[in-house]
Structure 1
Amino acid sequence: MFVNDTSGFHCGSRAACEVIVAGLLRGGHEVIAERSKSELDLQAMEDSDAVLVNGEGTLHDNSPRAMRILRLLELAQQARKPTAICNASWFRMGNQYDHVLRKLDTFDVRESLSRDLLRQRHGVEAGLYLDASYFHPAIPDPSRQTPARIRMTDLYWPGLRGFARPTGGQLARFEFLKMDELSWQVMLDYVGASGALLTGRHHGVYAACRARVPFVALSGNTPKIEGLVAWAGLGLPVTSEVGELGGLLAGIGRYRRTFEILFEWMDAQPAWVCPF
Protein backbone atom coordinates (compact mmCIF):
# COMPACT_ATOMS: atom_id res chain seq x y z
CA MET A 1 0.00 0.00 0.00
CA PHE A 2 1.40 3.38 -1.07
CA VAL A 3 0.18 6.11 1.26
CA ASN A 4 0.21 9.87 0.61
CA ASP A 5 0.55 10.18 -3.13
CA THR A 6 1.11 13.94 -3.42
CA SER A 7 1.25 14.02 -7.22
CA GLY A 8 -1.59 16.53 -7.40
CA PHE A 9 0.30 19.26 -5.53
CA HIS A 10 2.79 20.25 -8.23
CA CYS A 11 5.37 18.80 -10.61
CA GLY A 12 8.04 18.31 -7.92
CA SER A 13 5.76 16.21 -5.76
CA ARG A 14 4.65 14.28 -8.82
CA ALA A 15 8.26 13.56 -9.77
CA ALA A 16 9.01 12.30 -6.25
CA CYS A 17 5.99 9.96 -6.24
CA GLU A 18 6.87 8.61 -9.68
CA VAL A 19 10.36 7.71 -8.43
CA ILE A 20 8.98 6.01 -5.31
CA VAL A 21 6.38 3.98 -7.21
CA ALA A 22 8.98 3.00 -9.81
CA GLY A 23 11.17 1.73 -6.95
CA LEU A 24 8.31 -0.37 -5.61
CA LEU A 25 7.63 -1.84 -9.03
CA ARG A 26 11.30 -2.65 -9.54
CA GLY A 27 11.15 -4.51 -6.24
CA GLY A 28 8.50 -6.78 -7.72
CA HIS A 29 5.57 -5.30 -5.81
CA GLU A 30 2.04 -4.65 -6.92
CA VAL A 31 1.11 -1.18 -5.67
CA ILE A 32 -2.22 -0.58 -3.95
CA ALA A 33 -3.11 3.10 -3.97
CA GLU A 34 -4.65 4.86 -1.01
CA ARG A 35 -8.22 5.66 -2.01
CA SER A 36 -8.94 8.51 0.42
CA LYS A 37 -6.85 11.14 2.16
CA SER A 38 -9.68 12.30 4.41
CA GLU A 39 -10.29 8.98 6.18
CA LEU A 40 -8.44 5.77 7.01
CA ASP A 41 -8.38 3.38 4.06
CA LEU A 42 -8.51 0.24 6.19
CA GLN A 43 -9.53 -2.01 3.31
CA ALA A 44 -6.42 -1.14 1.30
CA MET A 45 -4.29 -1.68 4.40
CA GLU A 46 -5.86 -5.08 5.02
CA ASP A 47 -5.39 -6.08 1.35
CA SER A 48 -1.68 -5.17 1.38
CA ASP A 49 1.37 -7.07 2.60
CA ALA A 50 3.27 -3.89 3.60
CA VAL A 51 2.61 -0.16 3.98
CA LEU A 52 4.92 2.53 2.61
CA VAL A 53 4.25 6.21 3.43
CA ASN A 54 5.57 9.10 1.35
CA GLY A 55 6.20 11.57 4.20
CA GLU A 56 7.06 14.56 2.00
CA GLY A 57 5.67 17.82 3.46
CA THR A 58 2.84 16.21 5.40
CA LEU A 59 4.27 15.18 8.78
CA HIS A 60 4.28 18.48 10.63
CA ASP A 61 2.27 20.44 13.19
CA ASN A 62 0.19 17.43 14.31
CA SER A 63 -2.08 18.03 11.33
CA PRO A 64 -5.16 15.80 11.00
CA ARG A 65 -3.66 14.23 7.88
CA ALA A 66 -0.40 13.45 9.71
CA MET A 67 -2.34 11.90 12.59
CA ARG A 68 -4.36 9.70 10.23
CA ILE A 69 -1.20 8.47 8.54
CA LEU A 70 0.41 7.55 11.86
CA ARG A 71 -2.76 5.82 13.03
CA LEU A 72 -2.85 3.78 9.81
CA LEU A 73 0.76 2.73 10.42
CA GLU A 74 -0.15 1.76 13.98
CA LEU A 75 -2.97 -0.46 12.74
CA ALA A 76 -0.72 -2.01 10.10
CA GLN A 77 1.88 -2.81 12.77
CA GLN A 78 -0.78 -4.36 14.97
CA ALA A 79 -1.64 -6.57 11.98
CA ARG A 80 2.08 -7.51 11.82
CA LYS A 81 2.67 -5.89 8.44
CA PRO A 82 6.03 -4.29 7.50
CA THR A 83 5.80 -0.49 7.62
CA ALA A 84 8.07 2.32 6.45
CA ILE A 85 8.16 6.08 5.92
CA CYS A 86 10.31 7.54 3.16
CA ASN A 87 10.97 10.95 1.60
CA ALA A 88 9.89 12.72 4.77
CA SER A 89 10.39 15.89 6.73
CA TRP A 90 9.33 15.99 10.38
CA PHE A 91 8.62 19.22 12.25
CA ARG A 92 6.59 20.29 15.29
CA MET A 93 5.09 16.86 15.92
CA GLY A 94 4.02 15.47 19.27
CA ASN A 95 5.10 12.24 20.95
CA GLN A 96 1.83 10.29 20.93
CA TYR A 97 2.98 8.00 18.10
CA ASP A 98 6.61 7.51 19.13
CA HIS A 99 5.87 3.82 19.66
CA VAL A 100 4.87 3.58 16.01
CA LEU A 101 7.98 5.38 14.80
CA ARG A 102 10.21 3.01 16.75
CA LYS A 103 8.58 -0.04 15.15
CA LEU A 104 9.01 1.13 11.56
CA ASP A 105 11.15 -1.10 9.38
CA THR A 106 12.74 2.08 8.00
CA PHE A 107 12.21 5.81 8.45
CA ASP A 108 14.01 7.98 5.90
CA VAL A 109 14.01 11.79 5.94
CA ARG A 110 15.17 14.33 3.37
CA GLU A 111 17.31 16.65 5.48
CA SER A 112 19.29 16.77 8.70
CA LEU A 113 17.04 19.04 10.80
CA SER A 114 14.29 16.41 10.69
CA ARG A 115 16.81 13.69 11.52
CA ASP A 116 18.05 15.67 14.51
CA LEU A 117 14.52 16.38 15.80
CA LEU A 118 13.58 12.72 15.57
CA ARG A 119 16.72 11.74 17.46
CA GLN A 120 16.43 14.40 20.17
CA ARG A 121 12.67 14.50 20.81
CA HIS A 122 11.47 11.04 19.82
CA GLY A 123 14.42 8.72 20.34
CA VAL A 124 14.23 7.59 16.71
CA GLU A 125 17.19 7.25 14.35
CA ALA A 126 16.22 8.10 10.77
CA GLY A 127 18.10 7.55 7.54
CA LEU A 128 19.05 10.48 5.30
CA TYR A 129 18.33 10.57 1.57
CA LEU A 130 17.78 13.38 -0.89
CA ASP A 131 14.22 14.07 -1.94
CA ALA A 132 13.16 11.38 -4.40
CA SER A 133 12.56 13.97 -7.14
CA TYR A 134 16.33 14.36 -7.50
CA PHE A 135 16.50 10.87 -9.00
CA HIS A 136 13.75 11.33 -11.58
CA PRO A 137 14.98 10.33 -15.04
CA ALA A 138 14.02 13.65 -16.68
CA ILE A 139 17.16 15.43 -17.94
CA PRO A 140 17.20 19.26 -18.12
CA ASP A 141 17.38 20.60 -21.67
CA PRO A 142 17.76 24.41 -21.54
CA SER A 143 17.72 24.63 -25.35
CA ARG A 144 13.95 24.07 -25.27
CA GLN A 145 13.29 27.39 -23.49
CA THR A 146 14.21 31.04 -23.95
CA PRO A 147 17.07 32.14 -21.67
CA ALA A 148 16.18 34.44 -18.77
CA ARG A 149 18.31 36.05 -16.10
CA ILE A 150 15.96 35.16 -13.22
CA ARG A 151 12.84 33.05 -13.01
CA MET A 152 10.82 32.39 -9.89
CA THR A 153 8.21 30.15 -8.27
CA ASP A 154 5.70 31.09 -5.60
CA LEU A 155 6.84 32.07 -2.11
CA TYR A 156 5.47 31.26 1.34
CA TRP A 157 3.75 34.20 3.03
CA PRO A 158 3.25 33.68 6.80
CA GLY A 159 0.45 36.25 6.87
CA LEU A 160 -1.48 34.22 4.31
CA ARG A 161 -0.34 30.90 5.78
CA GLY A 162 0.24 29.72 2.25
CA PHE A 163 2.18 30.02 -1.00
CA ALA A 164 1.43 32.77 -3.50
CA ARG A 165 2.96 34.77 -6.34
CA PRO A 166 4.03 38.35 -5.56
CA THR A 167 1.62 40.83 -7.14
CA GLY A 168 3.71 43.99 -6.89
CA GLY A 169 7.20 45.38 -6.47
CA GLN A 170 10.48 44.13 -7.89
CA LEU A 171 9.70 40.44 -7.37
CA ALA A 172 6.59 40.59 -9.55
CA ARG A 173 8.72 41.46 -12.59
CA PHE A 174 10.40 38.05 -12.80
CA GLU A 175 9.01 35.37 -15.09
CA PHE A 176 6.84 33.08 -12.96
CA LEU A 177 6.89 29.29 -13.10
CA LYS A 178 3.59 27.82 -11.97
CA MET A 179 4.71 24.43 -10.71
CA ASP A 180 1.21 22.97 -10.49
CA GLU A 181 0.74 23.48 -14.24
CA LEU A 182 4.13 22.25 -15.50
CA SER A 183 5.61 18.81 -15.95
CA TRP A 184 8.87 18.09 -14.12
CA GLN A 185 10.64 17.94 -17.51
CA VAL A 186 9.40 21.39 -18.52
CA MET A 187 10.21 22.78 -15.08
CA LEU A 188 13.79 21.53 -15.38
CA ASP A 189 14.06 22.97 -18.90
CA TYR A 190 12.88 26.41 -17.75
CA VAL A 191 15.17 26.44 -14.73
CA GLY A 192 18.11 25.23 -16.80
CA ALA A 193 17.60 28.18 -19.17
CA SER A 194 17.76 30.63 -16.23
CA GLY A 195 20.69 32.43 -14.67
CA ALA A 196 19.15 31.87 -11.23
CA LEU A 197 15.92 30.66 -9.62
CA LEU A 198 14.10 32.52 -6.84
CA THR A 199 11.90 30.09 -4.95
CA GLY A 200 10.02 29.40 -1.76
CA ARG A 201 9.44 25.79 -2.74
CA HIS A 202 11.52 22.88 -1.52
CA HIS A 203 11.09 21.25 -4.91
CA GLY A 204 12.05 24.54 -6.55
CA VAL A 205 15.41 24.18 -4.84
CA TYR A 206 15.63 20.61 -6.12
CA ALA A 207 14.80 21.70 -9.67
CA ALA A 208 17.62 24.26 -9.49
CA CYS A 209 20.05 21.64 -8.20
CA ARG A 210 19.07 19.14 -10.90
CA ALA A 211 19.57 21.85 -13.53
CA ARG A 212 22.80 22.97 -11.79
CA VAL A 213 21.54 26.55 -11.58
CA PRO A 214 22.06 28.87 -8.56
CA PHE A 215 19.03 29.64 -6.42
CA VAL A 216 17.90 32.11 -3.80
CA ALA A 217 15.34 30.61 -1.42
CA LEU A 218 12.79 32.03 1.00
CA SER A 219 11.84 29.87 3.98
CA GLY A 220 8.68 27.82 3.56
CA ASN A 221 6.04 26.61 6.00
CA THR A 222 8.65 24.28 7.54
CA PRO A 223 12.45 24.66 7.56
CA LYS A 224 13.14 21.79 5.17
CA ILE A 225 15.15 24.01 2.81
CA GLU A 226 17.29 25.06 5.76
CA GLY A 227 17.56 21.37 6.65
CA LEU A 228 19.05 20.56 3.25
CA VAL A 229 21.50 23.44 3.60
CA ALA A 230 22.47 22.26 7.10
CA TRP A 231 23.01 18.72 5.85
CA ALA A 232 25.24 19.94 3.01
CA GLY A 233 27.18 22.09 5.48
CA LEU A 234 27.34 25.07 3.12
CA GLY A 235 26.47 28.74 3.46
CA LEU A 236 23.83 29.27 0.77
CA PRO A 237 21.48 32.20 0.04
CA VAL A 238 18.43 31.15 2.06
CA THR A 239 16.50 33.69 4.14
CA SER A 240 13.27 34.07 6.08
CA GLU A 241 13.00 37.78 5.18
CA VAL A 242 11.39 38.85 1.90
CA GLY A 243 13.28 42.14 2.09
CA GLU A 244 16.60 40.32 1.78
CA LEU A 245 15.80 38.55 -1.49
CA GLY A 246 16.80 41.42 -3.78
CA GLY A 247 20.23 41.76 -2.21
CA LEU A 248 20.83 38.02 -2.33
CA LEU A 249 19.89 37.90 -6.01
CA ALA A 250 22.16 40.83 -6.78
CA GLY A 251 25.06 39.07 -5.05
CA ILE A 252 24.41 35.56 -6.35
CA GLY A 253 27.76 35.55 -8.14
CA ARG A 254 29.54 35.37 -4.78
CA TYR A 255 28.13 31.86 -4.30
CA ARG A 256 29.35 30.41 -7.58
CA ARG A 257 31.90 28.02 -6.07
CA THR A 258 29.58 27.13 -3.19
CA PHE A 259 26.91 26.00 -5.62
CA GLU A 260 29.43 23.93 -7.56
CA ILE A 261 30.31 22.14 -4.32
CA LEU A 262 26.62 21.64 -3.52
CA PHE A 263 25.83 20.13 -6.91
CA GLU A 264 28.81 17.77 -6.70
CA TRP A 265 27.79 16.73 -3.18
CA MET A 266 24.21 16.01 -4.24
CA ASP A 267 25.34 13.97 -7.24
CA ALA A 268 27.37 11.80 -4.86
CA GLN A 269 24.39 10.96 -2.62
CA PRO A 270 22.90 7.45 -2.89
CA ALA A 271 19.41 7.06 -4.28
CA TRP A 272 16.55 5.80 -2.12
CA VAL A 273 15.81 2.09 -2.48
CA CYS A 274 12.65 0.20 -1.60
CA PRO A 275 12.92 -1.19 1.96
CA PHE A 276 10.76 -4.27 1.33
Structure 2
Amino acid sequence: MKVLFVNDTSDFHCGSWAACQVMTSAIRARGHEIVVERTRAELDLEGLEACDAVVVNGEGTLHGDSPRSLRILDLLRLAQERGMGTALCNASWFAMGNAHDDVLARLDRLEVRESLSREVLQDRHGVEPVLTLDASYFHPARVVAGREAPARIRMTDLYWPAARGFARPTGGPLARFPFIAMDQLDWQTMLDQTGASEVLLTGRHHGVYAACRARTPFVALSGNTPKIEGLVAWSGLELPVTGDVGALGGLLAGVRRYRAAFDVLFDWMESQPPWSSPF
Protein backbone atom coordinates (compact mmCIF):
# COMPACT_ATOMS: atom_id res chain seq x y z
CA MET A 1 0.00 0.00 0.00
CA LYS A 2 1.12 3.55 -0.71
CA VAL A 3 0.36 6.03 2.06
CA LEU A 4 0.29 9.79 1.56
CA PHE A 5 1.86 11.34 4.67
CA VAL A 6 0.40 14.82 5.12
CA ASN A 7 1.82 17.61 7.26
CA ASP A 8 5.41 16.53 7.71
CA THR A 9 6.53 19.04 10.36
CA SER A 10 10.11 17.77 10.62
CA ASP A 11 11.52 21.20 9.81
CA PHE A 12 9.64 22.97 12.64
CA HIS A 13 11.99 21.85 15.42
CA CYS A 14 13.56 18.70 16.82
CA GLY A 15 10.43 17.57 18.68
CA SER A 16 8.37 17.70 15.50
CA TRP A 17 11.13 15.83 13.68
CA ALA A 18 11.03 13.08 16.32
CA ALA A 19 7.25 12.75 16.02
CA CYS A 20 7.40 12.45 12.24
CA GLN A 21 10.21 9.90 12.44
CA VAL A 22 8.17 7.71 14.77
CA MET A 23 5.07 7.91 12.58
CA THR A 24 6.76 7.26 9.25
CA SER A 25 8.89 4.45 10.71
CA ALA A 26 5.78 2.73 12.09
CA ILE A 27 3.98 3.03 8.75
CA ARG A 28 6.97 1.59 6.87
CA ALA A 29 7.26 -1.23 9.42
CA ARG A 30 3.81 -2.37 8.26
CA GLY A 31 5.24 -2.79 4.77
CA HIS A 32 3.75 0.39 3.31
CA GLU A 33 5.46 2.87 1.01
CA ILE A 34 5.27 6.51 2.07
CA VAL A 35 4.65 9.39 -0.30
CA VAL A 36 5.31 12.69 1.46
CA GLU A 37 2.98 15.60 0.73
CA ARG A 38 4.63 17.83 -1.85
CA THR A 39 3.53 21.24 -0.61
CA ARG A 40 1.72 22.84 2.31
CA ALA A 41 0.39 25.66 0.17
CA GLU A 42 -2.23 23.71 -1.81
CA LEU A 43 -3.95 20.34 -2.05
CA ASP A 44 -1.55 17.63 -3.17
CA LEU A 45 -3.87 16.07 -5.74
CA GLU A 46 -0.99 14.37 -7.53
CA GLY A 47 0.09 12.66 -4.31
CA LEU A 48 -3.50 11.67 -3.60
CA GLU A 49 -3.84 10.05 -7.01
CA ALA A 50 -0.69 8.00 -6.41
CA CYS A 51 -1.75 6.56 -3.03
CA ASP A 52 -4.18 4.17 -1.39
CA ALA A 53 -4.53 5.85 2.02
CA VAL A 54 -3.83 9.15 3.77
CA VAL A 55 -2.28 9.64 7.20
CA VAL A 56 -2.26 13.20 8.52
CA ASN A 57 0.09 14.34 11.25
CA GLY A 58 -2.26 16.73 13.04
CA GLU A 59 0.46 18.60 14.90
CA GLY A 60 0.61 22.37 14.81
CA THR A 61 -2.28 23.03 12.45
CA LEU A 62 -5.78 22.11 13.58
CA HIS A 63 -6.88 25.21 15.42
CA GLY A 64 -8.68 28.41 14.57
CA ASP A 65 -9.93 27.24 11.14
CA SER A 66 -6.61 28.29 9.64
CA PRO A 67 -6.30 27.99 5.85
CA ARG A 68 -3.80 25.16 6.30
CA SER A 69 -6.15 23.21 8.60
CA LEU A 70 -9.04 23.56 6.15
CA ARG A 71 -6.89 22.39 3.23
CA ILE A 72 -5.91 19.30 5.20
CA LEU A 73 -9.53 18.49 5.96
CA ASP A 74 -10.54 19.10 2.34
CA LEU A 75 -7.85 16.66 1.25
CA LEU A 76 -9.19 14.06 3.68
CA ARG A 77 -12.69 14.57 2.26
CA LEU A 78 -11.44 14.02 -1.28
CA ALA A 79 -9.67 10.84 -0.17
CA GLN A 80 -12.83 9.56 1.50
CA GLU A 81 -14.89 10.29 -1.61
CA ARG A 82 -12.44 8.11 -3.54
CA GLY A 83 -12.81 5.25 -1.07
CA MET A 84 -9.32 5.63 0.41
CA GLY A 85 -8.37 4.93 4.00
CA THR A 86 -7.99 8.11 6.07
CA ALA A 87 -6.47 8.80 9.47
CA LEU A 88 -5.88 11.99 11.45
CA CYS A 89 -3.24 11.27 14.08
CA ASN A 90 -1.03 13.02 16.65
CA ALA A 91 -3.43 15.96 16.73
CA SER A 92 -4.74 18.67 18.97
CA TRP A 93 -8.05 20.30 18.02
CA PHE A 94 -9.19 23.74 19.16
CA ALA A 95 -11.56 26.46 17.87
CA MET A 96 -12.44 24.65 14.66
CA GLY A 97 -15.79 24.99 12.90
CA ASN A 98 -18.24 22.26 12.01
CA ALA A 99 -17.91 22.30 8.21
CA HIS A 100 -15.88 19.08 8.23
CA ASP A 101 -17.77 17.08 10.85
CA ASP A 102 -18.69 14.56 8.15
CA VAL A 103 -14.98 14.03 7.46
CA LEU A 104 -14.23 13.46 11.15
CA ALA A 105 -17.05 10.91 11.41
CA ARG A 106 -15.70 8.86 8.47
CA LEU A 107 -12.05 8.66 9.54
CA ASP A 108 -10.58 5.22 10.04
CA ARG A 109 -8.67 6.67 12.99
CA LEU A 110 -9.02 9.98 14.81
CA GLU A 111 -6.31 10.45 17.41
CA VAL A 112 -5.56 13.34 19.78
CA ARG A 113 -2.70 13.86 22.21
CA GLU A 114 -4.56 15.22 25.20
CA SER A 115 -7.94 15.24 26.88
CA LEU A 116 -9.03 18.83 26.23
CA SER A 117 -9.01 18.20 22.48
CA ARG A 118 -10.97 15.01 23.08
CA GLU A 119 -13.60 16.95 25.02
CA VAL A 120 -13.93 19.52 22.23
CA LEU A 121 -14.36 16.80 19.61
CA GLN A 122 -16.91 14.97 21.74
CA ASP A 123 -18.95 18.02 22.71
CA ARG A 124 -18.81 20.14 19.55
CA HIS A 125 -18.32 17.62 16.77
CA GLY A 126 -19.95 14.43 18.02
CA VAL A 127 -16.98 12.12 17.48
CA GLU A 128 -14.93 9.96 19.85
CA PRO A 129 -11.17 10.24 19.29
CA VAL A 130 -8.48 7.90 20.59
CA LEU A 131 -6.15 9.37 23.22
CA THR A 132 -2.45 8.75 22.75
CA LEU A 133 0.77 10.48 23.75
CA ASP A 134 2.51 12.68 21.21
CA ALA A 135 4.43 10.40 18.85
CA SER A 136 7.75 12.07 19.76
CA TYR A 137 7.64 10.36 23.15
CA PHE A 138 8.25 7.01 21.47
CA HIS A 139 11.37 7.99 19.55
CA PRO A 140 14.11 5.51 20.57
CA ALA A 141 16.70 8.18 21.47
CA ARG A 142 17.53 8.20 25.19
CA VAL A 143 19.47 10.53 27.47
CA VAL A 144 23.23 9.92 27.38
CA ALA A 145 24.61 10.88 30.78
CA GLY A 146 27.67 13.10 30.83
CA ARG A 147 27.34 14.49 27.30
CA GLU A 148 26.07 17.87 28.51
CA ALA A 149 27.21 20.09 31.38
CA PRO A 150 24.88 20.13 34.40
CA ALA A 151 22.63 23.15 34.89
CA ARG A 152 19.98 23.91 37.46
CA ILE A 153 17.60 25.47 34.94
CA ARG A 154 17.59 25.43 31.16
CA MET A 155 14.84 26.93 29.07
CA THR A 156 13.33 26.85 25.59
CA ASP A 157 11.42 29.64 23.92
CA LEU A 158 8.09 30.82 25.34
CA TYR A 159 4.85 31.87 23.69
CA TRP A 160 4.14 35.61 23.83
CA PRO A 161 0.43 36.35 23.11
CA ALA A 162 1.08 39.99 22.22
CA ALA A 163 3.47 38.92 19.48
CA ARG A 164 1.44 35.78 18.59
CA GLY A 165 4.60 33.76 18.47
CA PHE A 166 7.36 31.92 20.31
CA ALA A 167 10.57 33.74 21.22
CA ARG A 168 13.48 33.73 23.63
CA PRO A 169 13.33 36.35 26.40
CA THR A 170 15.93 39.04 25.69
CA GLY A 171 15.79 40.80 29.04
CA GLY A 172 14.71 40.41 32.65
CA PRO A 173 15.31 37.48 35.00
CA LEU A 174 14.32 34.78 32.49
CA ALA A 175 17.07 35.79 30.06
CA ARG A 176 19.81 34.54 32.37
CA PHE A 177 19.01 30.84 31.93
CA PRO A 178 20.93 28.73 29.39
CA PHE A 179 18.79 28.51 26.27
CA ILE A 180 17.87 25.43 24.26
CA ALA A 181 17.10 26.37 20.65
CA MET A 182 14.83 23.51 19.60
CA ASP A 183 14.89 24.55 15.95
CA GLN A 184 18.70 24.38 15.82
CA LEU A 185 19.54 21.02 17.42
CA ASP A 186 18.58 17.37 17.11
CA TRP A 187 16.29 15.39 19.41
CA GLN A 188 19.19 13.49 20.98
CA THR A 189 20.87 16.75 22.03
CA MET A 190 17.54 18.07 23.28
CA LEU A 191 17.14 15.04 25.52
CA ASP A 192 20.75 15.21 26.72
CA GLN A 193 20.55 18.91 27.62
CA THR A 194 17.19 18.44 29.32
CA GLY A 195 18.46 15.39 31.20
CA ALA A 196 21.46 17.37 32.47
CA SER A 197 19.13 19.99 33.97
CA GLU A 198 17.35 20.01 37.32
CA VAL A 199 14.38 21.82 35.75
CA LEU A 200 13.29 22.70 32.21
CA LEU A 201 11.40 25.97 31.72
CA THR A 202 9.44 25.75 28.48
CA GLY A 203 6.55 27.10 26.47
CA ARG A 204 6.80 24.25 23.98
CA HIS A 205 4.61 21.17 24.00
CA HIS A 206 7.58 19.15 22.79
CA GLY A 207 9.70 20.75 25.48
CA VAL A 208 7.37 19.17 28.01
CA TYR A 209 7.72 15.85 26.18
CA ALA A 210 11.51 16.07 26.22
CA ALA A 211 11.38 16.70 29.97
CA CYS A 212 9.13 13.70 30.48
CA ARG A 213 11.38 11.43 28.40
CA ALA A 214 14.39 12.65 30.40
CA ARG A 215 12.42 12.39 33.67
CA THR A 216 13.30 16.01 34.38
CA PRO A 217 10.79 18.27 36.19
CA PHE A 218 9.47 21.16 34.12
CA VAL A 219 7.74 24.48 34.56
CA ALA A 220 5.58 25.34 31.57
CA LEU A 221 4.04 28.53 30.24
CA SER A 222 0.90 28.13 28.13
CA GLY A 223 1.43 28.00 24.38
CA ASN A 224 -0.71 29.10 21.45
CA THR A 225 -3.23 26.34 22.28
CA PRO A 226 -3.92 24.65 25.64
CA LYS A 227 -2.37 21.31 24.68
CA ILE A 228 0.10 21.36 27.59
CA GLU A 229 -2.85 21.90 29.93
CA GLY A 230 -4.63 19.08 28.10
CA LEU A 231 -1.80 16.65 28.84
CA VAL A 232 -1.85 17.68 32.51
CA ALA A 233 -5.64 17.27 32.62
CA TRP A 234 -5.34 13.79 31.10
CA SER A 235 -2.78 12.82 33.76
CA GLY A 236 -5.04 14.09 36.56
CA LEU A 237 -2.05 15.57 38.39
CA GLU A 238 -1.27 19.02 39.79
CA LEU A 239 1.77 20.28 37.89
CA PRO A 240 3.44 23.69 37.46
CA VAL A 241 1.79 25.01 34.29
CA THR A 242 0.64 28.63 34.09
CA GLY A 243 -0.60 31.22 31.63
CA ASP A 244 1.00 34.03 33.64
CA VAL A 245 4.63 34.76 32.81
CA GLY A 246 4.90 36.62 36.09
CA ALA A 247 4.23 33.39 37.98
CA LEU A 248 7.18 31.52 36.48
CA GLY A 249 9.73 32.69 39.05
CA GLY A 250 7.65 31.42 41.96
CA LEU A 251 6.97 28.10 40.25
CA LEU A 252 10.67 27.61 39.53
CA ALA A 253 11.57 28.39 43.14
CA GLY A 254 8.98 25.93 44.43
CA VAL A 255 9.25 23.20 41.82
CA ARG A 256 10.55 20.64 44.33
CA ARG A 257 7.12 20.39 45.92
CA TYR A 258 5.89 18.77 42.69
CA ARG A 259 8.52 16.02 42.77
CA ALA A 260 6.11 13.23 43.76
CA ALA A 261 3.62 14.29 41.06
CA PHE A 262 6.38 14.30 38.44
CA ASP A 263 7.40 10.77 39.39
CA VAL A 264 3.79 9.63 38.94
CA LEU A 265 3.58 11.47 35.61
CA PHE A 266 6.79 9.96 34.26
CA ASP A 267 5.76 6.44 35.30
CA TRP A 268 2.29 6.89 33.78
CA MET A 269 3.72 8.07 30.46
CA GLU A 270 6.16 5.17 30.36
CA SER A 271 3.18 2.81 30.74
CA GLN A 272 1.37 4.15 27.64
CA PRO A 273 1.28 2.01 24.49
CA PRO A 274 3.54 3.15 21.62
CA TRP A 275 2.20 4.87 18.54
CA SER A 276 1.01 2.43 15.88
CA SER A 277 0.22 2.79 12.21
CA PRO A 278 -3.52 3.02 11.45
CA PHE A 279 -3.17 0.83 8.33
Encode CA deviations 1:144-169: one digit per residue, 9 max, x unaligned: 00000000000000000000000111
Query: What's the CA shift string for 1:246-270, capped at 9, x where partnerless?
Result: 0000000100100000000000111
Aligned to 1:159: 162
Aligned partner of residue 176 in structure 1, secondary structure: coil
Residue matched to 1:17:
20
Q: 1:37 aligns with which of 40, 57, 61?
A: 40
The answer to whether 1:262 aligns with 2:265 is: yes
Q: Of the candidates 182, 187, 195, which is equivalent to residue 185 of structure 2?
A: 182
Between Structure 1 and Structure 2, how many residues are aligned?
276
Identity across matched positions, percent: 67
Partner of 1:108: 111
2:236 paired with 1:233: yes
Aligned pairs for 1:197-276 (under 5 A) are 197-276=200-279
Q: Distance in 1 between the 2:144 and 2:235 partners?
A: 26
- Between the aligned partners of 1:97 and 1:8, the Cα distance in structure 2 is 28
The secondary structure found in structure 2 opposite 1:31 is strand
3-state DSSP class of the match of 2:234? Answer: helix
Rounded Cα–Cα distance in structure 2 between residues aligned with 1:223 and 1:235: 15
2:59 corresponding residue in structure 1: 56
Contact kept? 1:142, 1:190, Cα under 8 Å = no
TM-score (norm 1): 1.00
- Quote the Cα distance in structure 1 between the aligned partners of 2:60 and 2:121: 15
What do the CA deviations read for 1:160-198 (whole angstroms, capped 9, x no partner)? 000000011110000000000010000000000000000
Instruction: Identify unmatched segments of 5+ residues in structure 2.
Output: none
Partners of 2:118 and 2:30 in 1: CA distance: 26
SS at match of 1:244: helix
**Conserved in 2, the CA contact under 8 Å of 1:142 and 1:191?**
no
Deviation for aligned residue 1:57: 1.8
Structure 2 counterpart of 1:124, which letter?
V
Q: CA deviation at 1:142?
A: 3.1
Cα distance, 1:89 vs structure 2: 0.2
1:256 & 1:76 partners in 2: Cα distance? 47
Gap regions ≥5 residues in structure 1: none
Question: What is the RMSD of the two structures over their aligned residues, measured on CA atoms?
Answer: 0.4
Partner of 2:129: 126
Q: For 1:109-158, what per-residue CA distance to the aligned partner results, in whole angstroms no more than 9, with x for missing partners?
A: 00000011000000010000000000000011131000000000000000
